[in-house]
């Protein structure tokens, strides 16, 4: 750690450029103080807005979303709340009271008078429709048709389904609170026995869990970061200064969000903490350069000497971190793109503010360090340096084996944003899903739409036959427990032959024509722009771990041959496939693609920067090895273990790469300075010269590297107890990567520099 003796008063500000540095410090602080009201308003504005929903994370041009949006326009929104409770049985009076309150004259609306719900349905209504004319099924037959769809296995348990309008979805927190309040007032059961699920509940649960993460863990995390900063700098004044400057730049990130018109999303919850930790880490390194400059020369001009020495590694460190963050902008997912852009802005803003303020204050009130005994002789860093240097061959060999094994695990990585990966099994939302699927049936719809063009010659009765065949094929698929289509609400065909079959089909045709309007009201058959659309919905589980990309492929393989048998495009009919979970599955694949695209683009750009800074292709490539080492190692391990990456984990590779390069730049700066002192004027440095330079690099940078990594790793880990799984995994994965990067910088990199590869590095020109 940086040793501190005392803060000196006065002196030094008027010499060596200290006066104008101090003026720049005061002016910058004054500007930041003036911006405080704007920062506060921006933070309130950003945090007060509803988060975007997962479907909104991808653009309208995203093909699976385009298909799903078309389906919702033609039929109905998939944004629903499914509610049930013990005693929510067919014919229960409480169901009628709930529906009356949600659809009557006092039904809830937004401030402009637009209703929150476009429909409210229940199993009781479905049974009534089947038992009424013209179908007139007996009650047992009607219930059997609905079993596993909207009626439970016991034939009695059912649910109420609230279909949301666009306006209700915008105000979803209040709408869900209203539903909970209505059920609490209307249903004769305890609140713990009320079970709600569905996409809207998922979104609200994500909103609330991410917001709670910030409210519960934000303050303690900031306190931990400050205490770690104080422990590292051993100076209360400079700890407060670095911490407050970094905190102000966090506020500027909120201002940036408002200025660009970006909305809050669950991923942004961790952005303030990340920018704060990165800012504090940069401040620790900057103070280290200032103290080193004062100790290594006359007090006059120490701040300017520190700027001359440290501006490049600090700028490169912040710049490469920003590059890692900016690489996330290539993502099609809005939360990742917005996070990357604004976090990069925060990192670069923090760098500028620290350099504008800290050196000027240091010129006026420097930290004086005790003169130390030669640490290269008996210090811990020296002993560790020698341990690493003597075993460099073993370290390089073991690292190579570990990387090779990890590389084969990387292709096995899988990503997920399914509900069961967003929350822990004990959270209420998962418990409710489990109860509803056990007592009623699977809740996830996979939609098949049979589109008959205006020119189609297929008659309505034949269209119904096609729907029945498609429904039968879907019902045979593993994981499907119920199928909803027009066939559910129409008489079943029989095995009549001859004249009887013709008469039977004529009766069916008349009944079908008579029921088309009611089926249209039920959003099962629609007439749009001359086309007739018949909907077939298969129900699957939200918690079964189904790969909906593969599942949709199986659905296609079963349905398309049936459509072809009925004439296909030649007869004016085609099948379309969509559903909220297939859309989520497409987002999962985008997540995985973005992981590699972002990481590879960041790795490529940072490698070019490293090669330019180190003055050679080989030296730059060698310097990148300890930076990609932790990423490949961890993600390869995740691939081998089969742990799914979520939206929080997917961002960490590029971010950690940028953070890892920070330490590499600082270590190599002191290593090359050591070479300039030890190496001869001609030829590559010898092994003895590299050893001496490595010991000097450890002596001057190891403490600051450990301190900054400790601040970042432990500070981010403050979010680890969050109930919101992406936030928790982001904290754990990034923290592990930070500490692994420290191992790369202080173990793998020195071993490489001590090996023959170190001959490619040249002394610093300064």
Distances (CA, A) of 18 to 23, 192, 227, 520, 672: 9, 66, 29, 79, 28
CA of residue 173 relative to chain centroid, distance: 21
The answer to whether residue 214 sits within a structural domain is no
Distance (Å, whole) CA 654 – CA 652:
6
Structure tokens at 159: 């649910």
Contacts of 258 (CB under 8 A, 6+ apart): 42, 45, 46
* Preceding peptide of 100 cis, ω within 30°: no
The answer to whether residue 64 sits within a structural domain is no
Same domain, 245 and 368: yes
Residue ranges for the chain with pLDDT beneath 50: 1-15, 370-378, 496, 498
pLDDT at 31: 95
Query: Domain boundary residue among 530, 555, 578?
Result: 578
* Under 8 Å between Cβ of 633 and 741: no
Label residues 50-78 b or e (16+ Cβ within 10 Å = b).
Answer: bbbbbbbbbeeebebbebbeebbebbbbb
pLDDT at 3: 41
CATH code for the domain of 359: 1.20.1640.10
Instruction: Tell me the backbone φ, ψ of residue 408, rounded to 5 degrees.
Output: -70, -15
DSSP 490: S
pLDDT at 519: 61
pLDDT at 19: 82
Torsion over CA of 78, 83, 87 and 93, rounded to 10 degrees? -80
340-368 residue pLDDT tens: 899 999 999 999 999 999 999 998 888 86
First-to-final CA distance of the chain:
25
CATH code for the domain of 530: 3.30.70
Gyration radius from the chain CA atoms: 32
pLDDT at 469: 94
Strands 531-540 and 482-484: antiparallel
Same domain, 743 and 618: yes
Structure tokens at 751: 């071993």
pLDDT at 606: 83
Same domain, 499 and 593: no
Distance (Å, whole) CA 299 – CA 16:
9
Same domain, 574 and 591: no
Share above pLDDT 70 across residues of the chain, in percent, rounded to a whole number: 88
Per the structure, the complete domain to which residue 572 belongs is given by 444-540+547-578
Distance (Å, whole) CA 653 – CA 120:
44
HSE-up (13 A, CA, CB side) for residue 42: 20
Distance (Å, whole) CA 381 – CA 526:
75
Beta bridge partners of 7: 367
Question: Longest C-alpha distance within the chain, in Å?
Answer: 113
How many domains, the chain?
3
Distance (Å, whole) CA 717 – CA 731:
5
pLDDT at 372: 33
pLDDT at 679: 61
* Under 8 Å between Cβ of 653 and 595: yes
pTM: 0.75
Distance (Å, whole) CA 479 – CA 470:
16
The answer to whether residue 450 sits within a structural domain is yes
Same domain, 35 and 91: no
Distance (Å, whole) CA 418 – CA 436:
17
Same domain, 159 and 97: yes
């Amino acid at each position: 750690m940086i040793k501190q003796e005392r803060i000196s008063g006065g002196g030094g500000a008027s010499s060596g450029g200290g006066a104008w540095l101090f003026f720049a410090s005061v002016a910058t602080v004054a500007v930041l103080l003036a911006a405080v009201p704007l920062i506060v308003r921006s933070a309130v504005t950003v945090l007060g807005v509803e988060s975007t929903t997962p479907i909104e994370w991808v653009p309208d041009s995203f093909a699976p979303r385009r298909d799903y949006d078309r389906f919702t326009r033609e039929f109905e929104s998939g944004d629903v709340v499914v509610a049930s409770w013990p005693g929510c049985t067919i014919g229960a009076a409480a169901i009628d009271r709930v529906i009356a309150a949600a659809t009557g004259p006092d039904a809830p609306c937004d401030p402009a008078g637009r209703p929150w719900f476009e429909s409210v349905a229940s199993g009781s209504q479905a049974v009534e429709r089947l038992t009424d004319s013209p179908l007139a099924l007996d009650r047992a037959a009607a219930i059997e048709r609905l079993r596993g769809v909207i009626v439970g296995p016991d034939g009695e348990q059912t649910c109420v389904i609230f279909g949301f309008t666009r306006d209700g979805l915008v105000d979803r927190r209040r709408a869900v609170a209203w539903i909970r309040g209505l059920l609490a007032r209307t249903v004769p059961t305890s609140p713990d026995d009320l079970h709600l699920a569905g996409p809207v509940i998922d979104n609200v649960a994500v909103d609330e869990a991410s917001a709670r993460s910030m409210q519960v863990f934000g303050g303690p995390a900031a306190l931990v970061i400050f205490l770690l900063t104080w422990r590292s700098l051993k100076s209360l004044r400079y700890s407060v200064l670095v911490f407050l400057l970094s905190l102000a730049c966090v506020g500027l990130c909120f201002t940036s969000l408002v200025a660009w018109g970006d909305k809050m999303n669950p991923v942004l919850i961790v952005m303030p903490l990340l920018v704060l930790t990165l800012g504090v880490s940069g401040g620790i390194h900057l103070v280290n350069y200032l103290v080193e400059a004062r100790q290594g020369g006359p007090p006059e001009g120490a701040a300017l000497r520190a700027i001359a020495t440290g501006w490049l590694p600090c700028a490169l460190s912040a710049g490469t971190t920003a590059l890692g963050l900016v690489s996330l902008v290539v993502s099609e997912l809005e939360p990742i793109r917005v996070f990357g852009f604004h976090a990069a802005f925060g990192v670069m803003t923090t760098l500028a503010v620290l350099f504008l303020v800290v050196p000027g204050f240091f010129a006026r009130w420097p930290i004086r360090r005790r003169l130390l005994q030669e640490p290269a002789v008996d210090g811990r860093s020296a002993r560790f340096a020698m341990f690493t240097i003597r075993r460099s061959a073993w370290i390089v060999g073991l690292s190579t084996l570990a990387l090779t094994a990890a590389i084969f695990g990387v292709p096995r990585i899988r990503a997920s944003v399914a509900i069961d990966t967003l929350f822990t099994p004990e959270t209420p939302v998962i418990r409710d899903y489990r109860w509803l699927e056990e007592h009623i049936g699977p809740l996830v719809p996979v939609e098949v739409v049979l589109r008959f063009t205006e020119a189609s010659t297929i008659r309505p009765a034949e269209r119904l036959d096609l729907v029945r065949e498609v429904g039968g094929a879907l019902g045979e698929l593993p994981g499907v427990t119920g199928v909803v289509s027009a066939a559910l609400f129409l008489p079943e065909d029989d095995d009549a032959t001859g004249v009887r079959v013709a008469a039977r089909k004529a009766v069916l045709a008349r009944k079908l024509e008579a029921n088309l309007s009611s089926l249209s009201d039920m959003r099962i058959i629609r007439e749009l722009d001359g086309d007739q659309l018949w909907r077939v919905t298969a129900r699957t589980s939200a918690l079964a771990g189904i790969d909906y990309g593969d599942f949709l492929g199986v659905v296609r393989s079963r349905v398309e041959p049936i459509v072809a048998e009925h004439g296909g495009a030649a007869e004016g009919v085609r099948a379309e496939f969509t559903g909220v979970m297939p859309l989520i599955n497409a987002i999962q694949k985008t997540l995985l693609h973005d992981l590699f695209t972002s990481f590879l683009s960041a790795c490529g750009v940072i490698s070019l920067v490293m090669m330019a800074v180190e003055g050679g292709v080989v030296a730059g490539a060698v310097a990148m090895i300890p930076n990609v080492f932790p990423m490949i190692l961890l993600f390869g391990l995740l691939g081998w273990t089969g742990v799914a990456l979520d939206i929080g984990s997917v961002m960490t590779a590029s971010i950690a790469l940028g953070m890892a390069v920070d330490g590499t730049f600082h270590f190599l700066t002191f290593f090359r300075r050591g070479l300039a002192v030890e190496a001869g004027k001609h030829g590559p440095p010898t092994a003895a010269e590299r050893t001496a330079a490595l010991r000097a690099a450890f002596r001057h940078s190891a403490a600051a590297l450990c301190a900054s990594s400790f601040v970042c790793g432990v500070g981010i880990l403050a979010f680890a107890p969050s109930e919101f799984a992406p936030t928790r995994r982001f904290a754990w994965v990034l923290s592990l990567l930070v500490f692994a990067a420290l191992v790369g910088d202080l173990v793998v990199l020195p071993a490489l520099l001590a090996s023959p590869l170190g001959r490619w590095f040249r002394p610093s020109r300064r």
